[in-house]
């Protein structure tokens, strides 16, 4: 698993929010590390149960917005064969967002087989967002590409208070990157 210590941190000026942006690959749990280690790490925080393609545990989206995102993600998988999910969590409970996203993706088996899954994670309490990709996609969807998607497609909408539109723009950018 790779460290994210050298990645940039950016802030949002809109709505008085600061948003740290971290982007690294979603690493699959290695056989030598054991699946139990990943499951235990995620369960250190209250467990979040997957609710389809969009799990809005932070209750940030309307039912219609969740449905629109879900349709888009289903279409993305149909077009690419790769599973992408959107997750909002009320809090990371002191956890690092990169390990939280990785462990959540592993626990839910996003993109298995082939480690070709993508997790878009938002944590409003900590004001963090992350795009994490599985090892099977690292060569196609690089850290730099994920950072560009966040910076160019998502952040302008988030700054304007349009969370749903920012997520849709990020998904559209991921679609065009395939």
Residue 109 belongs to a domain: yes
pLDDT of the residue at 178: 60
Residue 6 belongs to a domain: no
Count of the separate structural domains present in the chain = 1
- pTM across the whole model: 0.76
**Does residue 153 contact residue 168 with C-beta atoms inside 8 Å?**
no
Q: Quick one: which of 159, 157, 161, 160 has its CA closest to 172? A: 157
In the predicted structure, residue 131 carries a pLDDT above the cut 70? yes
CATH of the domain at 62: 3.10.310.50
> How many Cα atoms are found within 13 Å in the side-chain-facing hemisphere of 43?
7
Residue 23 belongs to a domain: yes
Do you find a cis peptide bond into 20, omega within 30 degrees of 0?
Answer: no
Name the residue with tokens 């900590």: 126
pLDDT of the residue at 5: 30
Residue 129 belongs to a domain: yes
> Residue 104 — very low, low, confident or very high, per pLDDT cuts 50/70/90?
very high
Rounded Cα distance, 27 and 113, in Å: 13
Name the residue with tokens 């309490």: 125
What's the domain range around 69? 14-177
How many residues in the chain?
178
Residue 98 belongs to a domain: yes
> Residue 44 — very low, low, confident or very high, per pLDDT cuts 50/70/90?
low
Residue 76 belongs to a domain: yes
pLDDT of the residue at 46: 66
Mean local confidence (pLDDT), 139-156: 91
**Does residue 111 contact residue 136 with C-beta atoms inside 8 Å?**
yes
Higher pLDDT, 50 or 34: 50
Residue 7 belongs to a domain: no
Residue 4 belongs to a domain: no
């Amino acid at each position: 698993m790779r460290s994210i210590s050298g990645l940039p941190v950016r802030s949002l000026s809109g709505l008085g929010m600061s948003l740290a942006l971290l982007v690294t690959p979603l690493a699959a749990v290695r056989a030598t590390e054991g699946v139990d280690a990943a499951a235990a790490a995620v369960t250190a925080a209250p467990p979040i149960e997957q609710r389809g393609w969009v799990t809005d545990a932070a209750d940030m989206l309307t039912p219609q917005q969740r449905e629109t995102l879900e349709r888009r993600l289903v279409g993305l998988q149909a077009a690419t064969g790769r599973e992408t999910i959107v997750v909002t969590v009320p809090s990371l409970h002191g956890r690092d967002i990169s390990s939280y996203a990785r462990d959540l993706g592993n626990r839910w088996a996003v993109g298995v087989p082939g480690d070709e899954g993508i997790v878009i994670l938002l944590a409003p309490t900590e004001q963090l967002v992350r795009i994490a990709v599985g090892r099977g996609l690292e060569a196609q969807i690089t850290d730099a590409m994920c950072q560009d998607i966040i910076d160019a497609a998502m952040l302008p909408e988030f700054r304007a208070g349009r969370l749903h539109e920012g997520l849709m723009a990020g998904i559209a950018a991921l679609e065009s990157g395939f």
